[in-house]
A and B are shown apart, each in its own frame.
Chain A
Amino acid sequence: MKVFRSIRWRLQFWHALLLALVLAGFGLSAYEIERAGLARSTDAELDRRADTLARAVHPPPPPAGRDDLPGDDFAGPPGPPEFHNPGESGPPPRRDRPRPGLPSLVLGDYAAEGPGQWYYVIWLRNGPPVTRSPNGPADVPRPPRPDSRLRGPALRVRGSFREAFLPLGPGDIVLVGHDVTADLQGLHRAAWAMAAAAGMILALGLLGGHWLAGRSLQPIADISAAAARIAAGRLDQRIGNRDTESELGQLAQVLDATFARLEAAFARQARFTADAAHELRTPLAVILTHAQHALAVPGAPEEHAEALAACQRAAQRMRALTEALLRLARLDSGAQPPDPVRFDLAGRVADCVGLIGPLAARRGIAVKADLNAAECAGDPGQIDQVITNLLTNAIEHNVENGEIRVSTRAACGRATLTVADSGPGIAAAHLPHVFERFYRADASRSRSSGGVGLGLAIARAIVEAHGGSIQAASEPGRGAVFTVSLPSLS
C-alpha cells in the first residue's frame, strides 16, 4: 500500500511500535514488581504465622533467670496436652503440664473460609499425627524434612497454595498455608486495568503522534504543493514559510530563492523570445504591406521598384537578425570553440579596422589605432566578431565626423582591447544593461539606424566563452569605452 510507505505513516508506525514497547516493558515490570511484592508479603505473613504457630505449639524456653514465668522449667519438645493421643506409643513428655489448646488468638487467624484463607497443619511425633485447621485443604502432604541448616521456615508452592513449614524437632512439623487464588485474581484484575490504561495511553500517544507528525511534516506538504504549482507553470508561486529556524523552514527558504531565480531566468528567456519576435515582426510587416499594396494596386514601375527595395531591406534585416539569434543560440548551447589557436590580437584588430573602414568613412569617422602586440588564444573568427561588433557599435553611436580610438596591449598575462568612441555616451542607468539582449540604451534612436540589438550581447557571450571579460564605461557626452580582456595563455 502506497499510503503506508509515506514518511508520515512510517513515523507513525515506529512511534506506535516504540510506544507499545515502552508501555509493555513498563507494564510487565510493574506486574512483576507487584507480583513479587505480593509473594514477599505473603511469605512474610506465612513466616510470621508459622512462627506464631510454632511458638503456640512448642513455646520456646524462657530466657535464663526468669523463673517466675510458667514453663521456665519446661524443656524438650512436648506438644500441647490435647495432642496426646492415648493410643500413641512413645514416651510421654516428662514433667509436662497440660496446656490449653492453641490460643484462640491464633485460632482466630484461621477461621476464615473460602478463597484466600490461611490454614495450618501440624504433624507431631508425640501427638496425633496430623492436626489441621478446618478451612485448609484435606490433602496437604507432609513436607520433607527441611535442610536443618536453614533458619526459619521453609517455603513451598503447591498449585494455588503457598505454604511455609517449620520443623519443631524430630518429627514435629508446623505448616502454615495460604490459598493465593484470590491474590492472583486481584493481581490479574490489576494487570487488566493496567493493560486497559496502557491501551488508552497508546491510543492517545498515537493521536498525538499523528498530529505531531502531520505538524512537523506540514512544511514538506507546503513545499510539495508549491513545487507542484510551479511545475504546473505558475512560476510566481512560493512556499512562503515564515519559520526560519527549523531545518525545513531553511529548506523552504532555499527553495524559494531557487524558485525566484528560476522565475527570473524564465522571465528573461520569455522577454528575449518576445523581443526576438518583435524584431522579426516589423520587417515582416514591411514586406507584407509593400507586397500586398503592390499586388493590389497597379502602380508605376518605379513605385514597384521602391516596394521591392523596401522588401529587400526588410529581408536583409531579418537575415541579420536570424544570424545573430543563431549565433547566440550556439554560444548559449555552450559548444566549445574549435581547437584554440594562438594569435596576435593586434593583427586581428588591424584586419577588422581595415574591413570596417569604409563604413566609418561614410560617416566621416576617423579610426585611430594604437596596436601593441598582445598574444592570446582562442577562435580568431569569433574574436573577429567581437572586434567587428564593438567597432560597428562605435560607428553607430558616434557623431558625424567623430573618431574611434582602438588600442591593444598585453599586460599581466592578459591581452586587452579597448574601443572608445566620441559619441553621446551611455547614461549611468543604462550602463549595466548594455550587454543585455535587445537592450537599447538610446531609446530615441530609431530602429532604422542599424543594428539588431544583439551585437554587444554576442560580443559578451564570445568573450566569456574565451574566459575573458568585457566592460563598458562611459561619461555621458564624452563617449563610451569598451574594454575586452582575454587571457593570454589558454
Chain B
Amino acid sequence: MRILVVEDEPDLLSGIVRALRAAGYYVDTAGDGEEGLFKAASVDYDAVLLDVMLPRKDGWTVLKDLRRSKKTPVLMLTARDASADRVRGLDTGADDYLVKPFDLPELLARIRALIRRGAGQPGPAIDLGPVRIDQAARRVTRDDASVVLTAREYVILEYLALHRGQLVTRSDLYEHVFDENDDTLSNLIDVHVSNLRKKLGHDLITTRRGLGYCIE
C-alpha cells in the first residue's frame, strides 16, 4: 500500500513517515501543496494524508484540484477543529478528517479504514477460502495456522486480495508496493509472488501471462 503524506512541518512529517513505514506502508512525502498535488495527481496512491495549512498551495486547493482527476482516498490533517472546517473538508471531497494533535494508533486505524473503503472492502478481514487476511493485525492464516510473510509479500497479497477478481498488472503492483525511494528490479515482483504461492498454495494467485496477476 502506497501513501502520500503532504505536511510542511519536517519533524511531524518524519514522525508520520516513520510510523507509516513501520506499519508496512510505502510512503512518499511532499513538503508543500504544489509538490503534493503533483505527486498525488501523477501516482495512484492508496491514500493521501493532506495537511490543511501548507505553503504555496493550501490543503483545500490541493484537494479540489486533485478531485478533478483522482478519487484517491484523502485524509485531511489539520490543527483547526471548528466544525465548519470539518464540514468544509468533507464537502470538498475529503474522505476523513483528523485534528492535530492526534494519536498514532488512531491515525493508522483511519488509514486502514480509508484504504479498505477505497477498495470496497466492508470489514478488516478478507476471506480467500482457506487463506484469511486480518488487516488490522497484518496477519495471514492458512487453515487457521499462522503464516509468516515478509512485509513486501504481505502487501502484495493484501493488494491482490483487495482487488479480488480484478486483473492487477505488474505496474499496478509497482505503483502500490514500492515507494519513490525503492530501487528494485522488475522481476522482484515475480519472486515475491512465487514465494507467496509456496506459502499459501499454488492455486491462490493465478498468472495472466503477459498481463499480470489475479486472485479469483
* Cβ-defined contact, B104 with A284, below 8 A: no
Among candidates A274, A307, A445, residue contacting B15 with C-beta atoms closer than 8 Å = A307
Q: Is B79 an interface residue (CB 8 A)?
A: yes
Determine the chain A residues whose CB is within 8 A of the CB of B15 once the complex forms: 286, 289-290, 293, 307, 310
Q: Please, what's the 1-or-0 string for A287-299, where 1 marks a CB less than 8 Å from any CB in chain B? A: 1111011001100
Out of B8, B11, B79, name the residue touching A314 (CB < 8 Å).
Answer: B11
Interface flags, B1-40, vs A, CB<8A=1, else 0: 0000000111110111011001000000001100000000
| Chain B nearest Cβ from A279, distance in angstroms | 8
A46 and B171 alpha carbons, distance in the complex (Å): 136
Q: Which of B8, B11, B31, B99 makes the CB contact (< 8 A) with A286?
A: B11
The reply to whether the CB of B201 lies closer than 8 angstroms to some CB of chain A is no
Taking a contact as CB atoms closer than 8 A, the residue among A274, A282, A292, A313 that contacts B100 in the complex is A282
Given contacts A303-B18, A314-B11, A446-B8, contact A285 B102 (CB under 8 A): yes
Interface of chain B residues 119 through 175 with chain A (CB within 8 A): none
- Let me know if B90 is at the binding interface, CB within 8 A: no
* B10–A448 touching, CB < 8 Å: yes
The number of chain B residues touching the other chain, given as a range, is 20 to 34
Q: How far is the CB of A450 from chain B (nearest CB, A)?
A: 13
Contact check: which of A278, A284, A444 meets B56 at CB < 8 Å? A444
B56 contacts which chain A residues (CB < 8 A)?
A: 443-444
List chain A residues, Cβ under 8 A from B102.
285, 288-289
Q: Is the CB of B22 within 8 A of A290?
A: no
Contacts of A290 in B (CB 8 A): 11, 15, 18
Tell me whether B79 and A446 are in contact (CB under 8 A).
no
Q: Using A274-B80, A444-B32, A444-B56 as known contacts, say yes or no to A286 and B9 having CB atoms under 8 A apart.
A: yes
Assess whether A332 is interfacial by the CB under 8 Å rule: no
Contacts of B8 in A (CB 8 A): 446-448
Q: Given A284-B101, A286-B9, A310-B11, do A278 and B79 touch, yes or no (CB 8 Å)? A: yes
Question: In the complex, what distance in Å separates the CA atom of A296 from the CA atom of B80?
Answer: 27
Asked if B16 and A289 sit within 8 Å, CB to CB, the answer is yes
Which A residues touch B210, using CB under 8 A? Answer: none
Interchain CB contact under 8 A, B103 and A297: no
Which A82-101 residues have C-beta < 8 A from chain B? none
> A288-B102, A292-B104, A293-B18 known; A282 and B31 CB under 8 Å?
no
Q: Do residues B53 and A445 form an inter-chain contact, with CB atoms below 8 A?
A: no
CB A310 to nearest CB in B, in angstroms, measures 4
Residues of A within 8 A of B32 (CB): 444, 446
Annotate A118-132 by CB proximity to B: 1 below 8 A, 0 otherwise. 000000000000000
Smallest Cβ-Cβ distance to B56: which chain A residue: A444
Which B residues touch A444, using CB under 8 A?
Answer: 32, 55-56
Decide: A288 and B10 in contact? CB cutoff 8 A: no
**Extra inter-chain contacts (11) besides given A307-B15, A448-B9, CB under 8 Å:** A278-B80, A281-B79, A286-B9, A286-B11, A286-B12, A287-B101, A292-B105, A297-B19, A444-B55, A446-B32, A447-B8
The 10 closest A-B pairs by CB, nearest first: A289-B15, A284-B101, A285-B101, A281-B79, A310-B11, A285-B100, A278-B79, A292-B104, A293-B19, A286-B11
Name 19 A/B residue pairs within 8 A (Cβ), A-sorted: A274-B80, A274-B82, A281-B99, A285-B9, A285-B79, A285-B101, A286-B11, A289-B12, A290-B15, A293-B15, A293-B104, A296-B105, A307-B15, A307-B18, A313-B11, A446-B8, A446-B9, A446-B31, A448-B9
